[in-house]
Every structure is written in structure tokens, then in C-alpha cells.
Structure 1
Amino acid sequence: MDVVRSVKANGLEFGYLEAGPADGPLALCLHGFPDSAYTWRHLMPELAAAGYHAVAPFMRGYAPTGVPEDGAYQVGALASDANALHEAFGGGSDAVIIGHDWGAATTYGAAAAEPRRWRKAVTMALPPINSLMAGFFTYEQLKRSFYIYLFQTQLAEMALNATFVEGLWRDWSPGYDAAEDVAHVMNSLGTPANIGAAIGYYRAMLDPSRHVERYAIEQAATATKGERPVLYLHGAADGCLGADTFVPGGDFTGVLGELPDGSRAELVADAGHFLQLERPDEVDRLVLEWLAT
């Protein structure tokens, strides 16, 4: 799984990790910020053991994946990437898609835009956009989200360095030793172009003028419920998107109301934002049980 391979999809060269039989059902695993494909190093062997062809790409702009010439970083572009990767890997209707943080946003959009490609989905640490906005503007959450507003300024490129990334991991997943993960992140953000790409996700999030028309269909799908059932997981101690704000007392009513019929949600105890790394046994079990049904 440590060997990085590459594949062409959606006009980009994607670096990726893989595990499991090439003829197994595709399990596409998508990382977020500030993270890399190595975030799935615990889950991928379990998916492989269950017979899946587990593939974890480095998201657009994160080395060794290329930086897109069109500068598109809206969620619609990411969803288009995911569906193009499904095609590139010969995925069938039995494929599943798993995403964390920005990977979760991508998962919602990809499954809603082209449900025929995906049997089930798993998302972590980022609820659907409509339920997210319901709690985003509380005072406590705005403090947690300071980096989003920093990234709209000309200071962003100077701020996004190893010390800053270490600080985010420390705040978002208290008590977790993120040294290995931060090293992977900084390898993926090894050039100014890569740093600009990671920041570009956040600029496109708040500035629709940065959206590229080519991805309009996928962009529109990101605001819809979709039809493929989703397992949503949230860490009880998430320091990025507080469980106290979005799932108070473990109440997922608002989240489930924005997910397709048949979806489920679980609060993972003793886990922060990077729950798949902090509580891998528990998260792996929940994911595999969900996919087996």
C-alpha cells in the first residue's frame, strides 16, 4: 500500500495508494484538509481483506496528483474527479465511496450526481451542507473556523506551513500524535502551487465566481440529498466541527434529515476530527459492517 501509483482521470494525473484485489468492488477513499491519502492506512487493509479494491487518491492539487490548469477547486470539480476515477478503475454499480472532511463533501456530490456508480457511501467529520450551515454561525464554531477566513486573505500562502498544520491537527484531534500525518501533508504541499491548491478549495467555497462552468451539473448535485444511503460518522471530541454544535448530545436528527432514506449516523467516542486515525478499530468496524449490509 505504500507504493504510490498514478492514473489519468478527468484531465489530471492522480497519484494514489491501493490495496486488495484489482477485480474486487471499487472502494474509493477520499481525504480532506490538511491531510493526504495516507489517512486511510488503517481502513484500506480491512477493505482489502473484505474483498474490495481499495483506492485512495491524493486529491486534486495535492502532490503527487497534478495541479489543475483550470484552477477549479469547487466541490463540483472534486465530485467530477471521483466519478472519473470510478471510470478509470473500471468500477461497477457495486462500488462504494468513502470520504473524510473535503472527501466527505466530494462523496455527497459524486453519489448525488451519478448514483448509478455507487452502491453505498460513508462520510466522516463533515455533515451535509444544509445541516452544516444550520450551526456554522454560532460563536464557538466561528472561532474554530478562523482558518477559512484567513484563507481568503493574501496572508494565507505564508500562513500555511508545517507549524500551522501541526496546530490544526493538535486543535482538531486533541491528544493524537500527528507527526507522521503532518509529514505526509507537507510532502503533498511541497510547492507553492500545491499550497495554493489547498487554499483554493476554501476560496472556491466562499466565492462562486471561482467556479468553472464545466462542473455545473456536479456543483448543483452537491446541494441535493441524493439517493444512495450514507453512513455518517462524527468524532465526539472533534475540534474542527464541534459535535456539541452539529450533533448535540449525539442527536443526529438534523444530519439524517439531509441524507437519503436508509442512511445511518454514529458518534464515535474519544475521537476528534481525524477519527479514522484516532479510533481505527471502531471506525473500521462501523464501515465494514455498513458496507456488508
Structure 2
Amino acid sequence: MPTTLDPTRRRLLGAAVISAAALSQTPTAAAAGRQDAKVSGGSPPALRTVQANGLEISYAEVGPSNGPPVILLHGWPYDIHAFEAVAPLLVSQGYRVIAPYVRGYGPTRFLSPDTIRNGQPSAVAFDTVAMMDALRIKSAILGGFDWGARSADIIAALWPERCRGLVSVSGYLIGSQAGGSKPLPPAAEFQWWYQFYFATERGRAGYEANRRPFNRLIWQLASPKWSFDDATYARSADAFDNPDHVAIVIHNYRWRMGLAEGEARYDAFEAKLAAAPTIGVPTITLEGDANGAPHPEPSAYAAKFTGPYVHRLVEGGIGHNLPQEAPGPFAQAILDVTRL
């Protein structure tokens, strides 16, 4: 029978010190944290690093080292603080929780200045597989949103043996350059305005110069009913100061439109993804009832999940950053997915 999080315990754990200790590492982030996330007793543990796929990946880890592993993957333009209230809920149930900074975010760094700053989806997803190899994690529950959901989808499709269960906000997000070249209805094209902006050199320069106000605008548009405060945004915005952030973001969106090339070593992965493979691992997809970002309708992708599958609508004005806006339902999906 699925474990159900007690509502009172959920509220208490949502403000637990684990979240602040694990996910607020820099002095700036710690000082800017909400008052209900202050650490009481002891110093926050340092972020950990592991070398994988040409990167030194920085990640937060909480929970018992022998617990069932859960890997939580953030999207653009967000960071691991999206999971700060999710992590303690999972730790309370005995899970080992790992939240890595995606390439181009936070302290994650390329090991060589000569490495291509590649943001294509299969490369971003393979970073997680390589990290799992380096940490000797054979399989894990994967949960994510935005880019993170896409990476989790890709891993579940291409390496199902590495994914015990999948929790994907906005469902099936696997795409291809061929698919990205097809025009959409005008209203749908309008929602992707930033992708067309990034396709221009003016857009690249504008994002470089204005990444913090630009990404704050994305937060507001993607989650129109989420009244986040300045401190909440500032903690995540520090991750955009990564020296490779702009290059990775611009390459990602240009690659989708066929305006930038990927790396040949990922060609075989992309060929498989272009066929829109089904996903057979146990899956729960989630959608907020006020998601202002472009996203597919659940009915459009339900057939892509051929294993045990449930879709859940999370109500209450929940937008695109579902784990941070609704940590309880997101954590509950992680707990439930391997019991479908």
C-alpha cells in the first residue's frame, strides 16, 4: 500500500533544516534563505562533487547512504533549490536524495576549456547516467521538471535498467531536431518566444547582459499564481552566474531548432530519440493547474507510457516549477511510483 505523507508532518518537514543544510551552500544563498529554513545546530554540509562525462558535477545529497536512491533533476531557469522542501519529505521515509546542478548551472564545471559547451538534450541526460556510474548507483527513481523531466524521460527510454521509477512534470518531453523544425499553431509559437529570441545574436547578447531579470520574467510567466519573494529567486539566480550558463542555454534552444550542431558521440542516442520511443518503467506524470509555460496536454502523451502509469493534476494555482510550488504532491509521487 502506498505510503501517504501526513499533512501536518508535510508542513513541518517542508520547513525542515535538511532543506536549508543541503541546498543552501553559499554565504549569499544562506543569508537570503527564508526564515523558516534556518539551520539550527551544526554547520550545513558542503556540496559534494563527482567527475563524470567531462564535468565536475556539484550535487547535494541527504538521507541514509544505504537508502533507495532518488535523483532529482532541475530545469531552466531554476536550480536545486526547487527541491529544498521535497528532500526532507523523502528523507523522512528513508530515501537517499541526490540533486545535481545541471551543466551550466551553479558550481558544476567543465573539466577542460576545450570541451564543447553542448546543451543538446541527450548530452544533458547522459550527464546523469555518468554521474550514477561514478557514484556506483545501478538504478534510481528519477524525478524532474522542465529540462530535468526531459532528461529523466530520456534515461527511462534509453536506459530503462537505470530507472526504477519516473516522476515527470509535464509528461513526455522527448523531442528531436526534426520535430523542432515543424511549425506550430500561432498561439503555440507565441509561447516559445524566448526560443526564437535565443536564435538571434541579439538574443544571446541580451541573455548574457540580463540573465537575472530575464529569468525572473520566465518564472513569473511560467508560474503566474506563484508569489515567490526576492530571497527565493535570489538563491536560485546565483546558479545563473556559472561561466558556461549562457553558452549551454543558447546551444540547447538553438539545437532544438536545428540551428546548432551537437556532438557526434551523441548521434546514436539522438537517432533513437527521434523515433519517440515509448517508456515502460513505472511512471507518474504531474501537471500544475496554472502552468504558464509551453507544455503538452496529458492526452497527447499518455500512450507513450506503456508500463504502470498514472497522471495527476495538481491544483491550487500550481505553475511550471511544480516541485517548489507543491513539494508535497511531488514527493508523494516519488513515494508512490514504484508501487503502482
TM-score (norm 2): 0.77
Q: State how far apart, in whole Å, the 1-side matches of 2:246 and 2:259 are.
A: 20
1:212-249, Cα deviation, whole Å (9 max, x unpaired) = 1112233234331132122111111110025xxx33xx
- Partner amino acid, structure 2, of 1:147: Y
- Partner amino acid, structure 1, of 2:253: Y
Of 115, 128, 133, 2:173 maps to 128
- Partner amino acid, structure 2, of 1:219: E
Does the alignment pair 1:232 with 2:285? Answer: yes
2:100 corresponds to: 57
Q: State how far apart, in whole Å, the 2-side matches of 1:90 and 1:162 are.
A: 36
2:318 corresponds to: 271
Of the structure 1 ranges 210-219 and 114-123, higher mean CA displacement relative to structure 2 is found in: 210-219
- Partner amino acid, structure 2, of 1:264: V
Does the alignment pair 1:111 with 2:161? Answer: no
2:134 corresponds to: 88
Q: State how far apart, in whole Å, the 2-side matches of 1:291 and 1:18 are.
A: 21
Of 206, 212, 230, 1:159 maps to 206
Contact 2:141-2:334 at 8 Å conserved across structures: no
Between structure 1 and structure 2, the one with the greater Rg is: 2
Q: Say which SS state the counterpart of residue 190 (structure 2) adopts.
A: helix
- 1:181, CA displacement in angstroms? 4.3
Contact 2:225-2:319 at 8 Å conserved across structures: no
* Residues 199-214 of structure 1 mapped to structure 2, 5 A cutoff: 199-207=250-258, 209-214=260-265
Q: State how far apart, in whole Å, the 2-side matches of 1:136 and 1:284 are.
A: 36
What RMSD, in angstroms, separates the aligned Cα atoms of the two structures?
2.3
- 1:58, CA displacement in angstroms? 0.5
- Partner amino acid, structure 1, of 2:256: M
2:335 corresponds to: 288
Q: State how far apart, in whole Å, the 2-side matches of 1:29 and 1:23 are.
A: 17
- Partner amino acid, structure 1, of 2:126: S
- 1:285, CA displacement in angstroms? 2.1
Contact 1:234-1:267 at 8 Å conserved across structures: yes
- 1:157, CA displacement in angstroms? 3.0
2:269 corresponds to: 218
CA distance 1:191–1:104, shift in 2 (3 Å):
closer
Q: Say which SS state the counterpart of residue 210 (structure 1) adopts.
A: coil
TM-score (norm 1): 0.88
Q: How many pairs does the alignment contain?
A: 283
1:47 corresponds to: 90
Of 203, 206, 225, 1:175 maps to 225
Q: State how far apart, in whole Å, the 2-side matches of 1:283 and 1:136 are.
A: 33
CA distance 1:206–1:126, shift in 2 (3 Å):
farther
Q: State how far apart, in whole Å, the 2-side matches of 1:185 and 1:37 are.
A: 8
1:186-229, Cα deviation, whole Å (9 max, x unpaired) = 31221553222222221222227511111223323433113212
Does the alignment pair 1:197 with 2:240? Answer: no
Does the alignment pair 1:31 with 2:77? Answer: no
Question: Which 5+ residue runs of structure 1 have no aligned equivalent?
Answer: none
Contact 2:105-2:242 at 8 Å conserved across structures: no
Q: State how far apart, in whole Å, the 1-side matches of 2:283 and 2:64 are.
A: 24
1:240-289, Cα deviation, whole Å (9 max, x unpaired) = 025xxx33xxxx33221122322221111121111111122232223322
1:97 corresponds to: 142
Of the structure 1 ranges 138-147 and 28-37, higher mean CA displacement relative to structure 2 is found in: 138-147
Q: State how far apart, in whole Å, the 1-side matches of 2:246 and 2:261 are.
A: 17
Q: State how far apart, in whole Å, the 2-side matches of 1:128 and 1:73 are.
A: 16
Contact 1:39-1:277 at 8 Å conserved across structures: yes
- 1:170, CA displacement in angstroms? 0.8
CA distance 1:126–1:180, shift in 2 (3 Å):
farther
Of the structure 1 ranges 103-112 and 215-224, higher mean CA displacement relative to structure 2 is found in: 215-224
Q: Say which SS state the counterpart of residue 304 (structure 2) adopts.
A: coil
- Partner amino acid, structure 2, of 1:128: L
Of 58, 74, 88, 1:15 maps to 58
Contact 1:62-1:197 at 8 Å conserved across structures: no
- Partner amino acid, structure 1, of 2:65: A
